């Protein structure tokens, strides 16, 4: 009869289990440093506990934010933004980002507020 190895609760952790510990032990110091940099690049812009984007927005995202804001400053009504752009603005500027341009929540789906 084959003896089954006991898998403890700690061995089921996604980021700390026998496989990840073995992979980490096999990495060189340069590889560990590079993976740390990659992790910071991918996840260093978000506070996961508060679900908020930190101010250090990566450069391409800053350009995207500036582009969308410029459209709104030029008179584009928020209802003409696509859902991804609206979600991006909410993530970057907060849930009520539209108030900055004098709009109300209803303006996200139809023209409610007319600017003079």
Whether 99 and 64 map to the same domain: the answer is yes
- To the question of pTM greater than 0.75 for the whole model, the response is no
In a domain, 38, yes or no: yes
Whether 66 and 97 map to the same domain: the answer is yes
In a domain, 72, yes or no: yes
> How does pLDDT run along the chain (116 residues), one tens digit per residue?
455 555 555 667 887 888 888 988 999 999 999 988 887 776 766 777 776 666 666 667 888 999 999 999 999 999 999 999 999 999 889 999 999 999 999 999 999 888 75
Domain extent, residue 79, equals: 59-108
Rounded CA gap, 58 and 40, in Å?
11
Q: How far apart are the first and last CA of the chain?
A: 83
Rounded CA gap, 51 and 34, in Å?
26
Which pLDDT belongs to residue 30? Answer: 93
In a domain, 116, yes or no: no
In a domain, 3, yes or no: no
Which pLDDT belongs to residue 5? Answer: 57
In a domain, 4, yes or no: no
In a domain, 74, yes or no: yes
- Number of domain units in the chain: 2
Whether 38 and 65 map to the same domain: the answer is no
With 0-12 / 13-18 / 19 or more C-beta atoms within 10 angstroms meaning exposed / middle / buried, residue 72 is buried
Which pLDDT belongs to residue 7? Answer: 56
Whether 74 and 101 map to the same domain: the answer is yes
């Amino acid at each position: 009869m084959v003896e089954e190895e006991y898998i403890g609760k700690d061995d089921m952790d996604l980021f700390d289990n026998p496989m990840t510990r073995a992979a980490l032990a096999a990495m060189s110091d340069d590889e560990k440093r590079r993976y740390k940099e990659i992790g910071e690049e991918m996840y260093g812009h978000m506070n996961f506990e508060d679900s908020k984007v930190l101010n250090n927005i990566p450069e391409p995202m800053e350009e995207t934010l500036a582009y969308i804001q410029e459209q709104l400053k030029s008179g584009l009504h928020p209802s003409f933004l696509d859902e991804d752009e609206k979600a991006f603005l909410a993530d970057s500027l907060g849930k009520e980002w539209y108030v900055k341009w004098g709009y109300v929540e209803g303006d996200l789906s139809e023209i409610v507020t007319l600017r003079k």
